[in-house]
Structures are given as C-alpha cells and as structure tokens.
Structure 1
Amino acid sequence: MDRPDSNIPQAPEGYSRPESSPQNFVGPSNQNGGKPRPFEAPTYKQGFVLCVVGGVITGLLSFIGAALVAYGMVIAIYCKKGHGWFGPAITSVLVTGVAAYLLSGPTEAATSVTACALALGVGYTFATEKLTVGVGSLLVGATALALLGYDAFFAAMAGTTLPELAQNVFNQYASQVSGASPEIQEGLSTAKALFMLFWPTSYTGMALLYFVIARFGARTVYKALTRDPQKLPQFQLMDVPFWMCALAVANLFVYALSSTILSAQDILQLITLNVFMALRVVFALQGLAVLTWFVREKHFSPALSLSLFVLAGMLEVQLGVMALVGLIDAWVNFRKLNRSGNQDSEPTINNN
C-alpha cells in the first residue's frame, strides 16, 4: 500500500511508534517480523543481588557502596509492590559487616554497617514514597548518633575519651613533620585549632554525605522505574516540619545544662553539637528553598539569580543567614504553603 503524502517521516523498518503509556519501551522487532519487543524491567532477584553486591562494596568503600545498596533496595521493593525488603536488608547488612571486619577490623565494620543501614532506609522510604524532610532528617540524625556511639564505645574500651582520641590522632599526623620549618609549624597550630573546632560535628557531616549518595542512587532508579516526573519533589516547596523548631529549642536547653553534668559533659556536648549541625543544614536548605521560590516568583534574570545564590552561600557560611531565614519561614510561612494537612510531606510538582 502506498504511503500517504504527509510531512511525517516514515519509521525505519523493524521499529514502531511507542504507545502512549510511559511504561512501554519499544525496541526492534524480532527476526520473524513480529511485534517490537519491549525492554524488560528489572526483577526482584536483580534488586536482591544489587543489594548484596552493594553490601560488599560498602564493606570496602562505604561511600560508593551506599548508592548501590539504595539502588537495589528500590528495585526490590518496587517489584514486590512495597514488600520484599527484609531479605535484601538482612543479607546486605551481614555481607557488609563480614567484608569490613575481615578487611579493616571492628571499627570500620561498625561504620560500614551503619552506612549500609542508612542506604537501606533511604531506599525503602524512597520506594514507598515516605522520604519526607522529617524522615530524612531522622535518618541522618540516627546515623550520626550511631557513628558517634561506636567511636565513644571503642574509645572507652581503650581507656580514653573521644576528645583525647581526636587530639591523639592529630598529634600522630603532626609528629611526622616535627622537624619542619617554623612556617609549617605555625600552619600546623592553625590546622589543629580548626580540627579541634570542627571534629565534633564530623559525624553529622559523614551521615549527610552517606545520605546524599544513597538518595542519589535511590532517586536515579526510582525515576527510571516510574518514568513519572510528577512524583519527584520540587526543591522550592521544601517545608521543614514544625517539630524540628521545637527540637532546636530543646537541643539548646540540653547544651546549656551539659556543663552541669560533669559525668556526661563530653558526650552530651558532642550530641548537641551534632544536632545543631544537622538542624543548621536543614534550615539552610529551607532558606535556599525560599530564595529559589522568590527568584522564580520575581522572574529574575539568570545573572541576577546566580549572584543572589552566590551571596546567599557566602552569608550562610560566614553568618548562618540562610539557616535563620529557613527557621523564620518555618514560623512565618513566606511562601504561603498549605500546612493544614501533614506538614512533614515533601510536595511534588502536582502541588504547584
């Protein structure tokens, strides 16, 4: 039959136009001239295997393996329609612990198992669409406290404390350049002061990095499986739950009282400092979300928008301005978001 006269190019032989459903992936037809073969979606077994392989990698390189563990967990839960998480979770945690213990010892095994557990939690909550701002903050906080607890336990077993252990670690590195020039020695003194200032919050920093990497792996595969951008959250609509404001007040109160409890002063101050660090990051992100919303509402030019974000970053690093904006927005609601329902929900594109 002759092809009708139109401006639409004819599809190559062996291919056909995809159907309207976003889940149909059309490939080349088979050799017998049949219908095009759709690409096969991943199976539960493949998700299980990815979790196990990710567990092995987490035992070696915890930051890299976290993404693969979350990736596999999303596939496993997606294939089982919200179920099937127990087997991959237990197996990957055991594999991670064994691999890390055999290669690096008990301290690294505890860290790797914690990273794997966080990745599993991120994968599960992302696949079940429960990864809200509050849930993510709880995952990061629990991970940071677990990392801190492990180090405190091993320090106590060694007959020392965490501050002394951190100072000894720095002194070991500094002793390698003990015969250096006065300029280098002065630089080491400055570096030591900075190290002792920032090391207490390093646990939150590690937990945040684990979370970001695991979330990247989970988001990548979830987007490919659903092929529905409507389900992905919009950053400008990020809204911190109100209970985090109450947590900030309670944490400040505990920090003020920690100096009166001499037996637990060090550990209480470490915990409260890490909570402060996590809250600052969350509220700073909320402040940046407010700025993103403001820039889009006012239709600023790309150059002006970039300048505002650079200025916001500088003010946050030096003065914590964006965290303050986020904290105020949690009370004032600059963006007039609908908080009548569950505030701890992560709005999607459909909420615009």
Structure 2
Amino acid sequence: MSLGFSHDNGLPPVPEGMHGAGEPQQGGGLTLWKDQRQNGPKETPFVLACVLCVAGALSAASVPSLACLLMGFGALCAGAGRGRGAHALIAAGTLVACGIGGAFIGAGAVPDALIVGALSLGSALAVEKGRMRPGVACAIVAITAAAQIGSAAASAMMAGTRVGDSFIEVLVSNLQALEAAGVDASSRSLVEWAVRTFWPAAFSTESMLEFLCAFAGTGLAARRLRSRRVECPDFGLFDLPLWVVAVFVAALAGCVAWYTHQDTFGNVVLMVSGNALLTVRYALAAQGLAVLVWHMRNRKTPAFAARLAILAALYLEVQFIVMSVVGLLDIWSNFRRLPRGEQRHAIQDEPKQD
C-alpha cells in the first residue's frame, strides 16, 4: 500500500479508502473518493474517454482549468490497466491535440498548452500507479510553475521585455481602480515593488489550481473504473515529506537574511526566497486542512457541519494563514500520529494485497 499503518500498533485505525477500491467509508462523508463500483455510475467507454481527453487538450490554451479536468478524467479512464503502448498513444495524441489547440490561438500559446497537457497526463499516471503522494503532488506543481515561468520568460525575451513588465502593465491599467480604493502615490509604488518582486507566485498559484482540476478529474474517473483497480489517495492522510520542510526553512532563512542585510543581499534573494515561501504555504495549508479532515472524520462529524468547518478553515487561512500554521505544527508534532521515517518507508514497501 502507499501509506497507512497497522491496527495493532496502538495507533488509531487507518480510515478506509486508502486504495480507492475498498469498502465504502463512514464518518461524515469526508472521504475524497468512496467505492462506487456497486452502485456508482457506469464505466466510461474507452472511445468516450479519449474524446473527452482530446476535447480538453484542444481547449488547454484557452480554458486550462477545464482542460485539466477533462484530460485528467479522460486520460485515467482510457489508460488505467492498459499497457505502455496504450499509454504512449494516449499521451502522444493528447499532446498533439494540445499543440493544435494552442496553434489556433497563436504560436506563443503552444508551449503553455503543452505544459497543461503534461501536467494532466502526469497527474493521471501518478494516480493510476498509486504514486500520488504529497511529495509527488508538490513536485508536479513546482515543475509546472517553473515550466510556465520559463515559457513566459522566453516569450518576453523575444518581445524585448521582461515577465514582470506585463504585470506592471496590468497594474498601470488599473490605476483608477487603485485611486478609487484610496491608494495614494506612495502606496502605489509599494504595490508596484511587490508586483515586480512576487510575480512568480502568480504562476505557482495557477499551477496549483490546474493541478487541483486535473486531480479532481482523476477522482471522478476513479469512481467509474469498476473493472480496473486504482489506488486513490486519502486527503485525511496527507503528510508532507521532509524535503518540502527543508525548502520552507531555506526560504524563510533567505527572507530573514535579506531583511537583516538588505545592503548585502540584492532583491534577487528576496524574489527567490519570498516566492518559494509563498508557494510552500499552499502545501502547509493543505496539511493543516488534512489534520482538520482527519479529526472530523474520526469524530464522525456530520457532513453539513464538516463542510461549514472546512469553509471556516479556508476563510481563516486566507485572512490569517491559520491552516498553514496548523500544518507546520503538525509536521513537528504529528497530531494524527501518522507513521513517518523508517516506519513510513516500511509500510510503503509492503506488497499490495487484493
């Protein structure tokens, strides 16, 4: 199995649903994906799955979020349980369709469409192989954001500008809105400095949203894979690997070093460290939400109350980064008593049992 712990080690029992094809879950309906093979929707035909995947690929440059949802769904439905040849054909067809759809908009849109297609295909493959762990999810988002920044930088270089300039243009075009909001000249200069420094965070945010759409598509697909077993992750057991924590510590140290020695360290140090910190915050917030979901499920919180609690948690995160703090504390305190270190690796290496 990919992650879990035994029932005889003094720890709370593992919530069912670790492999997606297990028994239906109880406890407030907080499970991401229940077993739907008995009463769920019919299995999606291969041809329809391919059509949805191609439709998403053609719209990757214009509506990337919807495209990720369709490609994640179609790629998993079409490829689950099939050989490498089928996977290669699905991937090739999807990427070609992404290129064609991007070319209709313009040559500059082709790389972005291909990046969206690669993200969706990678997410579907990771879910199918049972490898969609928190570290893999973070890596997919980070690689996608880096690729999008590289594509934007190349386009800006060919146009003789810089990526940050496009964000400044948007800011300048909305000066009247800023003035109406009571932002004076000194504050506008501060806003402009912040935009020039933290514009890469916009790409990491976009990558995260696209990944969530692709992941949602694979979740919908998993419900329809009746004859093909797919191991689906349980969000309540979301637990960040140590390398993400190391990135957080390094980014925080970089920000502190810049703040205390601004004359020594240039703005590049703040740009790299600050944007890394903003990106890792999303992962920490996810860990905090996972702690909330895990505890509500163990206490069998009613579904309506659980949804209200999650909405409240999201509000507190946006306003006061509460869930990020909870996630950071959970990394050190392990509120859920999840297996970590050697114990986690031993469990992950256990042979799967049907």
TM value normalised by structure 2: 0.71
1:119 equivalent in structure 2: 120
1:42 equivalent in structure 2: 45
1:184 equivalent in structure 2: 180
Q: Identify the range of structure 1 (238-247 vs 205-214) with the bigger mean alpha-carbon deviation.
A: 238-247
SS of aligned partner of 1:224 = coil
- What's the % identity of the aligned pairs? 26
Asked which structure has the greater RCO (Cα within 8 Å, sep 6+), the reply is 2
Contact 1:239 1:344 in 2 (8 A): no
Alpha-carbon deviation of 1:155? 2.2
Alpha-carbon deviation of 1:91? 2.5
Matched, 1:329 2:346: no
Alpha-carbon deviation of 1:129? 1.8
For 1:343 and 1:270, the matched residues in 2 are separated by 39
Contact 1:77 1:83 in 2 (8 A): no
1:206 equivalent in structure 2: 206
For 2:141 and 2:347, the matched residues in 1 are separated by 16
1:62 equivalent in structure 2: 64
Alpha-carbon deviation of 1:122? 0.9
2:69 is aligned with what amino acid?
A
2:11 equivalent in structure 1: none
The verdict on how the C-alpha distance between 1:144 and 1:213 changes in structure 2, with shifts beyond 3 A counting, is: same
The verdict on how the C-alpha distance between 1:46 and 1:291 changes in structure 2, with shifts beyond 3 A counting, is: closer
For 2:215 and 2:257, the matched residues in 1 are separated by 36
For 1:48 and 1:225, the matched residues in 2 are separated by 15
1:222 is aligned with what amino acid?
A
1:216 equivalent in structure 2: 216
1:251 equivalent in structure 2: 251
1:324-351: CA deviation from partner (whole Å, max 9, x where unpaired): 2212212221111122123997xxxx9x
Matched, 1:165 2:166: yes
1:80 equivalent in structure 2: 82
The verdict on how the C-alpha distance between 1:235 and 1:194 changes in structure 2, with shifts beyond 3 A counting, is: farther
Question: Please, which runs of 5 or more residues in structure 2 have no aligned partner?
Answer: 1-35
Contact 1:240 1:344 in 2 (8 A): no
1:275-316: CA deviation from partner (whole Å, max 9, x where unpaired): 323311111111122122333445567787667545533432
Residues matched between the structures, number: 304
1:78-109: CA deviation from partner (whole Å, max 9, x where unpaired): 15156622222122222212321232x23322
1:294 equivalent in structure 2: 295
1:277 is aligned with what amino acid?
L
TM value normalised by structure 1: 0.72
1:17 equivalent in structure 2: none
2:234 equivalent in structure 1: 234
Q: Identify the range of structure 1 (314-323 vs 295-304) with the bigger mean alpha-carbon deviation.
A: 295-304
Contact 1:241 1:344 in 2 (8 A): no
Contact 2:294 2:336 in 1 (8 A): yes
Contact 2:288 2:325 in 1 (8 A): yes
1:96 equivalent in structure 2: 98
The verdict on how the C-alpha distance between 1:131 and 1:296 changes in structure 2, with shifts beyond 3 A counting, is: closer
